[in-house]
């Protein structure tokens, strides 16, 4: 998950936060809630499906280095490393090239389990001992960041107050149970496996999560190109207006897929 930072730069250009994946998902969910009047949910891409597209290094003075990781989802993760030995610009470029040769195109799960202390993952032989040590340290820092992201199985939730408007959920304890199930991600990660190609409707006790037995869930997968990236949907009472919810979820999943595919072209 992207952490907001005033130093959000890649290659010297400011990144427009509205293009970040999470912002796009939240915006899409907010519109979906407005149209359906139901709580909307979305799962960000699962780590096993996400690739590291490129590593960018930018010196920021005082022996600090900004490391920006561009993911295949379009998401950018930034970290500011301190106590890095100051290097000339040519060395920074060489470090970036070496890191991209190691890491670009690999999944987050692969990077998470990688080791950068053995001969197979050693720095280029023409690097000086000092530069070699810096390179390995940065690679380890990248692995640490990736490990943090790979452990984040969260669900984006918009329009939670819509649940309170339904007669079935006026009991505060019942509503808290439903919201807790949604926020823990149990519902969405179980639903995502049901269908990779079309809208799925799970009604009441059909849901394997007991807390959701008084709810209906309508979900659809979204893609980047042909790659499944996650799921978007709505949650409401079992008497929800399916004639409205199903086409709305299908439309927004399709629109999200087209947008992400275009941004990653």
pLDDT in tens, 83-92: 566 677 788 8
Reduced 3-state DSSP string for 166-188: CHHHCCHHHHHHHHHHHHHCHHH
Tens of pLDDT, residue by residue over 64-114, are 788 888 888 777 788 877 756 667 778 889 999 999 988 898 888 888 887
pLDDT reported for residue 265:
66
pLDDT reported for residue 230:
84
End-to-end CA distance of the chain: 22
pLDDT reported for residue 88:
77
Domains and CATH numbers, the chain: 12-46+153-263 (3.30.450.40), 49-150 (3.30.390.60)
pLDDT reported for residue 8:
28
Give the residues of the chain that fall short of pLDDT 70.
1-19, 46-49, 61-62, 83-86, 116-122, 149-154, 172, 183-197, 265
pLDDT reported for residue 241:
95
pLDDT reported for residue 242:
96
Contacts of 74 (CB under 8 A, 6+ apart): 19, 20, 21, 260, 263, 264
| In the chain, beta strands by DSSP E | 9-10, 13-14, 39-43, 52-61, 64-71, 76-81, 156-158, 200-203, 215-224, 227-237
Write down the pTM of the prediction.
0.59
pLDDT reported for residue 255:
94
């Amino acid at each position: 998950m992207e952490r907001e930072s005033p130093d959000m730069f890649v290659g010297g250009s400011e990144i427009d936060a509205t293009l970040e994946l999470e912002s796009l998902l939240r915006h899409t969910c907010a519109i979906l809630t407005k149209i359906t009047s139901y709580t909307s949910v979305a799962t960000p891409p699962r780590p096993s499906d996400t690739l590291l597209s490129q590593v960018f290094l930018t010196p920021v003075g005082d022996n600090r280095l900004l490391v920006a990781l561009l993911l295949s989802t379009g998401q950018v993760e930034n970290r500011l490393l301190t106590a890095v030995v100051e290097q000339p610009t040519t060395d920074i470029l060489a470090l970036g090239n070496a890191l991209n040769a190691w890491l670009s195109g690999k999944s987050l799960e692969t990077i998470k389990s990688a080791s950068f202390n053995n001969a197979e993952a050693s720095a280029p032989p023409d690097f000086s001992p000092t530069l070699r040590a810096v390179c390995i340290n940065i690679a380890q820092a990248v692995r640490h960041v990736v490990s943090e992201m790979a452990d984040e199985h969260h669900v984006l939730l918009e329009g939670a107050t819509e649940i309170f408007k339904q007669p079935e959920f006026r009991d505060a304890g019942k509503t808290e149970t439903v919201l807790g199930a949604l926020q823990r991600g149990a519902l969405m990660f179980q639903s995502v496996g049901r269908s990779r190609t079309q809208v799925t409707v799970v009604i009441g006790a059909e849901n394997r999560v007991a807390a959701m037995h008084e709810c209906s869930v309508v979900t659809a997968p979204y893609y980047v190109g042909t790659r499944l990236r996650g799921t978007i949907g709505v949650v409401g009472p079992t008497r929800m207006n399916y004639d409205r919810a199903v086409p709305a979820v299908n439309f927004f999943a399709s629109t999200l897929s087209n947008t992400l595919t275009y941004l990653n072209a």
